[in-house]
């Protein structure tokens, strides 16, 4: 799952006003009063709590896999004084640990994808008729169950294959992608080994439970629920396909243009998020191994620096939108991401690694813009179907990114350790070119109109 966007990710029907019609889902009219059992409270705390949970457990899971695999293979290289000494030949056990950790990340991602790709479209489109609140509650319950499984694995030191069970449970409930469809560091003590992961995952569990309870008790319903709406029906998948085959509920004249924009912006979104997923999986691996050989404290600082970029991206987004069009904001965000990835590809010192994090201070500005552009292309009654399709794309990005980068990393260790980051930077030139071409085309049309 993607590290969540911090802006422009809420569907249009997040407002208090109930909407009429549900053309994409074919359900009953959605006009009517709100659910009387819920208070008119903002949905942002659900997003924040879920985002905090996802951001907390992602680097810890990779570190735990690294430690468990290192223990099984008898590798303790990251604690050797010569770890950062480039004159010492690389330990073959380290390469094996890196390879196995990358592969287990891939297997867990694959299992999650196969389940999530079927569940998320159902939940997202179903929310257009049945209401948004159930789609806010169910994924948080699934994420809480995942945390329970992870805790059991850590307490009992079960094989890491059981991590896959936790991800499957989360995928069955839609995971964080379903939450997006529905709404429109250093916690470890060095030396305590596996027990050092326990407290953070208890915090993950508590956060998911709190998020589910908040959504159940306080979040108002923005769609008048249709009691007859069915979850297990092919109609929801058809609603998603309807958007991309016809351009949504727009008329004949606008349908073709909207369909073209939907495909182009979805392609850009796919490439950007694939790079985010793929490169994110590698940061902890890259930092744990030589020549950086970071410990838990530095990994925590690196994770904090990476997540501070979400806040700086949000602030930058708000500032840039005052003087720039959305497309130019996306291009600036892509430029920030590209330069940071290039620095990561050659980072062999702690200072250079943090320089890369600093250059990525606007790296998340592109994805909220793309979400917003997609949201504006469809009507209010199709927001759930749209964000279900976006969530499916995210699940596909999760699989493709994990597959490519977790396979490319061990394959490139012998000639350039940071090559996957360089490859990621090159991929981002494609969406930058598409968005730039769209900007140029719009400017050309405006020029023609002004000079008629």
Distances (CA, A) of 301 to 20, 101, 190, 295, 363: 48, 21, 14, 10, 18
Query: How confident is the model over 181-218, as pLDDT tens digits?
Result: 666 733 333 334 444 578 778 888 888 888 888 888 87
Residues 6+ apart with CB under 8 A from 220: 16, 34, 35, 38, 39, 40, 41
The per-residue pLDDT for range 123-163, each reduced to its tens digit, is: 766 776 777 778 788 888 988 999 999 999 999 989 988 99
Bridge partner residues of 41 (DSSP)? 219
pLDDT of the residue at 9: 38
Residue 409 has pLDDT above 70, yes or no: yes
Q: Partners of 219 in the beta sheet?
A: 41
The confidence band for 12, taking pLDDT boundaries of 50, 70 and 90, is: very low
Contact (CB, 8 A) for 85 and 176: no
Residue 319: band (very low, low, confident or very high) from pLDDT cuts 50, 70, 90? very high
Is the Cβ–Cβ distance between 361 and 339 less than 8 Å? no
Q: Is the pLDDT of residue 382 over 50?
A: yes
Helix axes 326-346, 296-320, angle to 10 degrees: 160
pLDDT in tens, 99-132: 999 888 888 888 877 787 778 777 766 776 777 7
For residue 41, the SS3 value is: strand
Percent of the chain with pLDDT strictly greater than 70: 73
pTM strictly above 0.85: no
Inter-CA distances, 297 with 31, 185, 300, Å: 53, 7, 5
For 327-371, the pLDDT digits (tens) are 899 999 999 999 999 999 999 999 999 999 999 999 989 998 998
In the chain, what's the furthest Cα-to-Cα distance? 75
pLDDT given at position 1:
45
pLDDT tens for residues 29-68? 333 334 444 444 566 677 777 777 777 777 788 889 988 9
Pick from 324, 325, 389, 336: nearest CA to 361: 336
Q: Which two tokens stand for residue 62?
A: 């990779």
> Right CATH number for 36-77+90-226+239-450 from 1.10.287.180, 3.30.1050.10, 1.10.3720.10, 1.20.1250.20?
1.20.1250.20
Report helix, strand and coil shares of the chain as percent, to nearest 5.
Answer: 70, 0, 30
């Amino acid at each position: 799952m993607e590290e969540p966007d911090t802006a422009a990710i809420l569907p249009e029907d997040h407002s208090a006003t109930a909407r009429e019609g549900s053309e994409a889902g074919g359900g009953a009219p959605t006009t009517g009063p709100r659910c009387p059992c819920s208070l008119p409270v903002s949905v942002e705390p659900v997003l924040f709590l879920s985002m905090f949970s996802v951001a907390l457990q992602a680097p810890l899971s990779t570190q735990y896999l690294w430690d468990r695999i290192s223990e099984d293979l008898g590798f303790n290289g990251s604690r050797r004084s010569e770890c950062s000494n480039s004159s010492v030949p690389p330990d073959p056990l380290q390469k094996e640990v890196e390879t196995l950790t990358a592969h287990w990340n891939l297997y867990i991602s694959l299992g999650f994808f196969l389940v999530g790709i079927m569940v998320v479209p159902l939940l997202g489109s179903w929310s257009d008729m049945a209401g948004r609140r159930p789609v806010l509650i169910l994924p948080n319950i699934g994420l809480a169950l995942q945390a329970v499984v992870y805790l059991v694995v850590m307490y009992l030191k079960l094989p890491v294959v059981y991590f896959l069970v936790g991800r499957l449970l989360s995928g069955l409930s839609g995971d964080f992608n379903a939450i997006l469809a529905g709404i429109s560091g250093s916690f470890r003590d060095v030396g305590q080994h596996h027990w050092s992961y326990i407290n953070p995952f208890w915090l993950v569990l508590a956060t998911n439970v709190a998020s589910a309870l908040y959504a159940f008790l306080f979040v108002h319903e923005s769609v008048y629920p249709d009691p007859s709406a069915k979850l297990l029906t092919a109609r929801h998948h058809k609603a998603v396909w309807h958007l991309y085959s016809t351009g949504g509920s727009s008329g004949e004249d606008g349908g073709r243009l909207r369909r073209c924009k939907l495909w182009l912006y979805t392609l850009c979104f796919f490439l950007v998020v694939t790079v985010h997923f793929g490169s994110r999986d590698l940061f902890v691996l890259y930092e744990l191994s030589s020549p950086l050989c970071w410990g838990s404290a530095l990994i925590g600082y690196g994770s904090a620096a990476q997540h501070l970029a979400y806040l700086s991206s949000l602030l930058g987004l708000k500032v840039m939108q005052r003087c720039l069009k959305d497309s130019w904001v996306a291009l600036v965000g892509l430029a920030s991401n590209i330069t940071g990835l290039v620095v990561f590809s050659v980072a062999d010192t702690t200072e250079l690694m943090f320089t890369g994090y600093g250059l990525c201070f606007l790296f998340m500005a592109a994805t909220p813009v793309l979400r917003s552009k997609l949201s504006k292309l469809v009507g209010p009654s199709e927001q759930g179907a749209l964000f279900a399709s976006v969530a499916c794309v995210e699940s596909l990005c999760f699989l493709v990114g994990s597959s490519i980068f977790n396979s490319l990393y061990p394959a490139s260790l012998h000639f350039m350790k940071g090559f996957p980051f360089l490859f990621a930077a090159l991929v981002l030139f494609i969406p930058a070119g598409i968005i730039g071409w769209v900007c140029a085309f719009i400017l050309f049309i405006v020029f023609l109109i002004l000079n008629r």
